[in-house]
Structure 1
């Protein structure tokens, strides 16, 4: 039975308080397993307004209705409103996910700060940010985190080395290259180990192999625009041929207004014969295999602005 790993990024205060509990209920309804990755520090979502001059930013905003999905108040955090401390104020929501039996891990300390700056920062800044997340996770859950999924698929060599120091055996920090319609550009993409600064790291990377909803919504393929009414069918066509996949979703999107789309995907994937699993489940499935080693590389993906960590196959 092929595995479809569900990786949930909780980027914001609102997403953690509202989207996360909705997703727990929906996943439980279909007896699907998943991994929730939490932002554990401040919500500076409003700082995203600095991206207005970044290539592709306006196209994404117009396609995905950012204000509708994130809310005007969230877009003011760090600008006109103080940035809430997510881990401090939402610990009970995170603990409820753990109590419901779902795997929990680290997304980041401050999503906006990490995504915008990590690629240019050095070892001290990087380790400080990651240690804050590690310590806050342990404070909330009473144990050390086992996994990590980078905010915006942004990392640097020091960050990958820090995962080794934390002793994390698996993470999902990057992407697999996709064609314009979201199909895998190379069927060999999947679990691998990274080579960083001449050293092959022990931590197994489980890259996202499917497009996200916000990368597809509003775009046209073969003359047909993808809308909330037909996007699930488009993604299910990408998974019609059985193989293991990792799908990244967001508490702010699939956990709120796009929940009906995600429910159709859950139904469709189960009908296709997929076992819906967590990152830990997928890791246990591949950990004893001889996995390829890939260098640390960056590339752009259709529907998303800027470069991100990309598996070279």
Structure 2
């Protein structure tokens, strides 16, 4: 069955060709679309207006894994089928989380800034006790990569449903116990009111002396003032952050001045990496939409992810 789809802001040639091969008809916002596919950033688009003018729309595909920017519109149109890119970018983001972890453990920012030979330093990831916070595709990929280093990995997620390769999986109620004495914490959870500053001063104090933190989830997951204090005092060996609060992080923020804090500008998944992965997700979901099958990356408007 032909499905009428509207793409915002426009379809790249490869995506348009793929959808047409699947039998889709690409139409304008005023041509009664059944589905809306967002490939651009939300703040530049008039998605609310399009949905208000098209009550026949049944499916909306969002371009990102984190969807906190869409929370208001999700609440306005809770009966639509919303899908996101969660899990689609797991491999590059998981890879980046591993890179940030190793950089923090090995003190690579200090060595990158060095102008002389210096002294030895750093520790190995092998044999360490790790905690991964989050239950989606990125968290699962981080677990898979960490396990290649003979680590013990505990996953903390919304439910205690086991995550493949993890040694232990617990619900969020078990976070404090999981963090006690942990050497590595990787954050890959969604930004919700309940996850804001989940890694605060009290929980940072639970970690082993010289632990490291890697955040590829959202900046709001970490109390950055508490993190800066723990890094400055030496309680933490290091941190690697691909996400901060706010973004961009102001040049005056104290985290920039710490040699044991490596910050990358939300580039765990660059445009070059994302475009083919998002195209793959959109095509898979269009096939499922047309066939009436369960879709990938389903969003729960009530939960916000």
TM-score, L = length of structure 1: 0.27
More helix by share: 1
Larger Rg: 2
TM-score, L = length of structure 2: 0.28
